[in-house]
A and B are shown apart, each in its own frame.
Chain A
Amino acid sequence: MTDNTQNGQQNIYKPAIMKVVQKRDEAPGVKTLRLEFQDPAEHERFKEHYRTGMFGLYGIFGEGESTFCVASPETRKEYIECTFRQSGRVTSSLASAEIGDLVTYRGPYGNRFPIEEFYGKNLLFIAGGIALPPTRSVIWSCLDQRDKFGKVTIVYGARTVADLVYKHELEEWQNRSDIELVLTVDPGGESPDWQHRIGFVPSVLEEAAPSPDNCVAVLCGPPVMIKFTLISLGKLGFNEKNVYTTLENRMKCGVGKCGRCNVGSVYICKEGPVFTAAEVSRMPAGDL
C-alpha cells in the first residue's frame, strides 16, 4: 500500500512555509488551521502527491514539528487543513498562530485510503472525539464524488457536546438527505438542549445496526473506543478486512529513519497510517 517517492526534494527535512488563512475553534483546546503554500512549487508537489489518509508534520520554527493527519480531502488541494488538540510545545504554539502568521509543513507522507476500491460500496464512518479529522478527510473525499458510493452513514461521538468538533459541518451533514448522521455523547456529557443520542459509540453503533453487506467501515478514535467498536463491528458481521483505521505514534522524521513510530515491525510513517483492522490485529498489542 506504500506510495512514497523522494517527492523531488533536495533536503528531505526542510519544510515548506505555509500561511494561516483561517482559524477555527472546534472544541475546548481543539483548533483547526487552514494553511496555504507560499511557494507554488511546493504546492504543485503537494497537489501531485497528496491522497486522502496521508499525514504531515506541522511546525513552528523555534518550537519543532508535530505529526497529524491532513484533515482536508484529496478533492480539495488548494489548501491544507489540520485539526489538533493543544497539548505539547508545538501544538500550543500552533494554537496561538493567528491569521496571516507563517507556519511550516512537511509532507505529505504515509499511505492512503484506497478510495477507488470503495466505489459502488456503502460507507460507514465511525469516529470518536478528536479523531474525526482523519475520518473527515475521507468523508469529504467521498461526498465530493457522492454518486460513486452507496449509502453513507456517519456515527460520531464525543465525551461531551462541547467536545464535538466540526460542528458547522455536522450541521451540514445533518441537513443532507444523502447521509445518515448519528451523533452521540457519553452519558453525562449532554447539554440541556441535546437532541441526539446519549451513549458510548459501540453501543450506539449496535443500535444503529448498519448492514455489513457491500459496506466498508472507516473507524478512527481513541484506543479504547477502537477496541470496543471492533467488537461491535464483529457482532454486526463486518469483516476485519473491510474495516479501515488510522494509527498514530510519535514521529520526528516522517520518512522511516528516526526509529520511533514502529509498532512491531510496521513503520506507521511509511506503511501507515492507514491500516485495515486485519492488519492491526496482526501487530503486537504490547507495542501499541
Chain B
Amino acid sequence: MAKIGVFICHCGENIGAKIDCTKLVSAMNDHPGVSVSVEYKYFCSDPGQENVKKAIREHNLTGVVVAACSPRMHEATFRKACAEAGLNPYLCEIANIREQCSWVHTDQDMATEKAIEITRSLIEKVKLNNELQPIEVPVTKRALVIGGGIAGIQAALDIANAGQEVVLVEREPSLGGHMAQLSETFPTLDCSQCIMTPRMVEAAQHPKIRLLTYSEVEQVEGFIGNFKVRIRQKSRYVDMKACTGCGDCIQKCPQKKISDEFDCNLGKRPAIYTPFAQAVPNIPVIDKEHCTFFKNGKCKVCQKVCETDAINFEMQDEFLELEIGAIVVATGFQIQNTAMYGEYGYGKYADVITGLQFERLASASGPTAGKIKRPSDGVEPETIVFIQCAGSRDPSKGVKYCSKICCMYTAKHAMLYAHKVHGGKAHVFYMDIRAAGKGYDEFTRRAIEEDEASYLRGRVSKVWKENGKLMVRGVDTLLGKPVEIAADMVVLATAITPQPDAKEFAKVVGIGCDEYGFYNEAHLKLRPVETATAGIFLAGACQSPKDIPDSVSQASACASKVIGLFSRDQLEREPVIAVNNESTCSGCWGCALACPYNAIEKKDILSRSGELIKRVAFINPGLCQGCGTCVTFCRSNSIDLAGFTEKQIFAEVMGL
C-alpha cells in the first residue's frame, strides 16, 4: 500500500472557520495508506510548503494530497514543492475544500463530511498516480509559410527578421496574392502595388527566406516542432537560374490570346508569361495547357529567342522533403462565383462585373491602364450601379456570413469612379453599411458626401438590358419605393469564399475547417491564430474574410507565436496524453476519427519475419493534447489517459 501524506490547509479562516479541520485530520489519519495527516494555517506559504517537503522526506511519501483551495489556484505551487522534495510532481493532487466546499456551504457538519469524502477520494486517486515526466519535444527551427499573399509575406518577413529560417511557398508563379491585383486600398487610397511590391522584393531577397513559387504543399506529417513536409515544385519550363527576366520570350510568343487570370479575364496574355509586370520572381512560366509546342509539338519560338538557353521543355516537377518546426497557413480566399444570381446577368452581360474586376479596371497596371471602361465596348460608363451583398448574408442563395470587406471596397470603388469619371453617377445598393474600423466610417461618409455616391438601402431584384442600357431594378426600402436605374455598368460585391480546394488542403495539413472551408482556429477568442493542431497557425483570409490591416496583424501574431516557439530548443508539454495498449487494440480507428487533433495514426505490427500481424492505433505524443475523447470512445478500453487514467477515476469514484 502507498504512503500518502495529507495536508489540510485552514486558509486562515476561509476553510478553518467552516470545516472542522481537526476532525478531517484524524479521519485521514485513520485511512488506510495514509502515513501522515497534518493541518496548518497556510500551506501555500513558504513555511507551509516547507512542512510538506519535510514530511515527504521524513515519511518517504509516495503521494501527496493537499486539501486546500482550488487546484486552479495552487496545484502548480504544491507540485513544485513536491518536486523540490524529490517526489515526482504528478504524485500530488489537490482536494478543493475551499471554493467547492467551505465557501459554498453553511452547515459545518455536512461541509466537514463533504471535505472528508473529497479528500478521501483524491487519496484513492493519488495512490494510482504514476510518475510522469514532462514530454520534451525537439524543435526544428524552420518555419513554413504557405501562401505568398500579404499575410504570408508579412508572417515570413517577421519570422525571418527575428533570425529564423522560413520557407515561403506560393502556388502561383509570383508572390503577391490578391493584394497585388488591387488598385488602391481603403481607407487611405494609397496604391496597393506601391506598398505591396517592396514587401515582395524584400521577402524574395531575404537571406533567411527560401522562396518557392509555383510550388504546392502536398503532404504534412509529424507534429509540432517536427513536421515533415513534401512540396511539389511545378515545372516552369524555364530555368530559374539561367533566366534573366528580359521578357523577350513573352514578347515573341505567338500564342497571345489567353485569358489573363490576373486581370480577372479582362485582358489577354501569352502562353509564356509572368502574371504581372512586377512579378517576384520576375521569371516567366510556360502555360503548358495553351503552349503551341505542348499542343502541337511545333513552335519553340521562346527557346529560339532566349539568349541564355533558359527554356527547357523537358523539365519535370520536382519534390522537396523539408523538416519544419512550425507552419503558418495563409492560403487566402477566392471570390465567389455569382452564377447563382442569374437575375443580375453576370456572365450574360459583359458589363456586369465583379468588384475584383473593377479593381483591375481601376488599376494603373490593369488592362485599361487605370481608365474605367466598360468591357463590352471600352466606353466610359456614365452611370454605374454597385450591388453589395451579392452573395454574402444570403443563406438561401449565397453564404450566411458577412464578407466584411465589401462595404469598404464598394465605397472605395464609388470614390475611384467619381475621381476617374467626372460627371459620372454612382449608385450603391446596400443592406447595411458595416464600416467599423479606424477611419472606415469616415471613409464611407466621404464616398457619400464628397463623392456623391447615391446609397440606396435595398436589394436589387433584376438586371436586364434595354436599349443598350443595363436596367437595374431594386427597392429603396427607406423610401419604400421600387427604383429602376438605367446603368452603363454594374459591379457586384461578391462574397469572399475559401479557396476552392480549401477543404482538401485542410486534410493535407491536418487542420479543421468549417462548413465553408474556412480554417478553424483553436479558440475564436483566446487562441485566434492557433489551430487545434499544435504548431500550425493561421493568417489572413483563409480563416475568415479579412481586410488588409487584419490580415497583416494576424500574420504578425502568427510570427510572434512561431518566434516564441523557436525561442526554445525543446518543447516541454504536460504529460497528460493518451496512450494506446497495442495488444488489446482492434484497430477500428474510431479513435482516430474522434480525435480533434489528428493525433492518432495507423501503426503496423509486424511479426519477426516482417509480416503484418495487425494494424493498431498509435497516438502521437507530440500531437495529443490530452482531452481523452478517444479514451471514452474506445470500446475495448485499450486507450488510457495519463494523469486521468481509467484506474484513477475508478478509484476516485469508488473512494467517494
Determine the main DSSP class of B at the interface with A: loop
Cβ of B405 < 8 Å from any Cβ of A? no
Query: Interface code B1-40, partner A: CB below 8 Å = 1, 0 otherwise?
Result: 1110000000000000000000000000000000000000
Closest B residue to A101 using CB positions = B1
Q: Closest residue to B1 on the A side, CB-wise?
A: A101
Residues of A within 8 A of B3 (CB): 98
The 8 A CB mask of B315-356 against A (1 = contact, 0 = none) is 000000000000000000000000000000000000000000
Within 8 A of B (CB), among A72-123: 96-98, 101
How many contacting A-B pairs (Cβ < 8 A)? 8
Smallest beta-carbon distance B651→chain A, Å:
11
| 8 A Cβ contacts from B95-133 to A | 127
Contacts of A97 in B (CB 8 A): 1
Inside 8 A of A101's CB, which chain B residues have their CB?
Answer: 1
Within the assembled complex, what's the spacing in Å between the Cα atoms of A101 and B4?
A: 14
Inter-chain CA distance A101–B2, complex, in Å, is 9
- Chain A: minimal CB distance from B110 (Å): 29
Residue of B nearest to A100 (CB): B1
List chain A residues, Cβ under 8 A from B1.
Answer: 96-98, 101
Q: What is the bound-complex CA distance between A124 and B649, given in angstroms?
A: 50
Closest to A60 in B: B1
Min CB distance B88 to A, Å, is: 15
Query: How close is B274's CB to chain A, nearest CB, in angstroms?
Result: 62
Residue of B whose beta carbon sits closest to that of A102: B1
Kindly provide the distance from the CB of A211 to the nearest chain B CB, expressed in whole angstroms.
38
For A103, give the chain B residue with the smallest CB separation: B1
Complex Cα spacing A98 to B62, Å = 10
In the bound complex, residues from chain A placing their C-beta under 8 Å from that of B2 are: 96, 98
Could you say which residues of chain B place their CB within 8 Å of the CB of A96?
A: 1-2, 127
In whole angstroms, what is the CA distance A158 to B1 when docked? 30
Report Cα–Cα, A50/B1, bound state, in Å: 28
Residue of B1, B2, B3, B127 most packed against chain A (CB within 10 A): B1
Bound state CA distance, A96 and B127, in angstroms? 10
Q: How far is the CA of A151 from the CA of B1 in the complex (A)?
A: 43
Residue ID in chain B nearest A89 by CB atoms:
B647
The complex places the Cα of A98 from the Cα of B1 at a distance, in Å, of 5
Contact with A along B120-150 (1 / 0, CB 8 A): 0000000100000000000000000000000
Tell me the minimal C-beta distance from A86 to chain B in angstroms.
13
CB distance from B566 to the nearest CB of A (A): 38
Q: What separation, in Å, do the CA atoms of A101 and B1 have in the docked complex?
A: 6
B13 nearest CB across to chain A (Å): 37
Which residues of B lie under 8 Å from residue A98 when comparing CB positions? 1-3
Report the separation of the CA atoms of residues A98 and B2 in the bound assembly, to the nearest whole angstrom: 7
A101 to B35, CA, bound (A): 12
Q: In the assembled complex, how far is the CB of residue A171 from the closest CB belonging to chain B, in whole angstroms? A: 26
CA distance in complex: A96, B2 (Å): 7
Question: Which residues from A are CB-within-8-Å of B127?
Answer: 96
| Complexed CA–CA distance, A82 and B3 (Å) | 22
Alpha-carbon separation in the docked complex, A97 to B1 (Å): 4
Docked Cα-Cα span, A98 to B127, in Å, equals 13
Q: Which residue of A lies closest to B128 (CB)?
A: A96
Q: How far is the CA of A42 from the CA of B20 in the complex (A)?
A: 43
Residue of A nearest to B127 (CB): A96
Cα-based distance from A251 to B127 in the complex (angstroms)? 28
Q: How far is the CA of A7 from the CA of B1 in the complex (A)?
A: 30
With both chains docked as a complex, state the minimum distance between the C-beta of A28 and any C-beta of chain B, in angstroms: 15
Q: How many Å from the CB of A45 to the closest CB on chain B?
A: 26
Distance (whole angstroms) from the CB of A23 to the closest CB of chain B: 12
Q: How far is the CA of A29 from the CA of B195 in the complex (A)?
A: 67
CA distance A98 to B35 in the complex (A): 11
In the assembled complex, how far is the CB of residue B67 from the closest CB belonging to chain A, in whole angstroms?
A: 23
Cα distance, A97 to B127, chains bound together (Å): 11
Q: In chain B, what residue has the closest Cβ to A20?
A: B1
Please report which residues of chain B, range 52-95, place their CB below 8 angstroms from some CB of chain A when the two chains form the complex.
Answer: none
In the complex, which residue of chain A has the Cβ closest to the Cβ of B3? A98
A96 to B62, CA, bound (A): 10
C-alpha spacing A97/B3, complex, angstroms: 10
A96 to B128, CA, bound (A): 10
| Alpha-carbon separation in the docked complex, A97 to B2 (Å) | 7
**Residues of B228-243 contacting chain A, CB below 8 A:** none
A29 to chain B, nearest CB (A): 14
Docked complex Cα distance between A94 and B455 (Å): 83
Q: Could you tell me which residues of chain A, from 202 to 245, have a CB within 8 Å of some CB in chain B?
A: none
How far is A98 from B4 in the complex, measured between Cα atoms in Å? 12
A272–B96 CA distance with the chains assembled, in angstroms: 54
Give the distance to chain A from B121, nearest Cβ to Cβ, in Å.
Answer: 16
Q: How far is the CB of A271 from chain B (nearest CB, A)?
A: 32
Closest beta carbon of chain A to B573's beta carbon, Å: 26
Bound complex: CA A97 to CA B33 (Å):
10
Q: How far is the CB of B125 from chain A (nearest CB, A)?
A: 14
For A97, the closest partner residue in chain B by CB is: B1
B648 to chain A, nearest CB (A): 14
Residue of A nearest to B60 (CB): A98
The CA-CA distance from A98 to B32 in the complex, in Å, is: 12
Closest chain-A Cβ to B318's Cβ sits at a distance in Å of 43
Give CA–CA (A244, B310) in the complex, Å: 84
Bound: A101/B62 CA distance, A: 14
Chain A nearest CB: distance from B581 CB in Å?
13
B4 CB, min distance to chain A CBs, angstroms: 11
- For residue B3, give the distance in angstroms from its CB to the closest CB of chain A: 6
Per-residue CB contact flags for chain B residues 287-320 toward chain A (1 = under 8 Å, else 0) read 0000000000000000000000000000000000
Distance of A61 from chain B, by nearest CB (Å): 11
> Complex: how many Å from CA A237 to CA B3?
54
A173-190 vs B: 1/0 string, CB under 8 Å?
A: 000000000000000000
Q: Could you tell me the distance between the alpha carbons of A27 and B165 in the complex, rounded to whole angstroms?
A: 48
User: Nearest chain A CB to B546's CB is how many angstroms away?
Assistant: 55
In the assembly, what is the distance between CA of A197 and CA of B43, in Å? 56
A136-169 residues at the B interface, CB under 8 angstroms = none
B34 CB → nearest A CB, Å = 12
Q: In the complex, given contacts A96-B2, A98-B1, what are 6 additional A-B residue pairs having Cβ atoms less than 8 angstroms apart?
A: A96-B1, A96-B127, A97-B1, A98-B2, A98-B3, A101-B1
Q: Which residues of B line the A interface, CB within 8 A?
A: 1-3, 127
* A-B CB contact pairs (8 Å), 8 listed: A96-B1, A96-B2, A96-B127, A97-B1, A98-B1, A98-B2, A98-B3, A101-B1
**B-contacting residues of A (Cβ < 8 Å)?**
96-98, 101
8 closest cross-chain pairs (CB), A and B: A101-B1, A98-B1, A97-B1, A98-B3, A96-B2, A96-B1, A98-B2, A96-B127
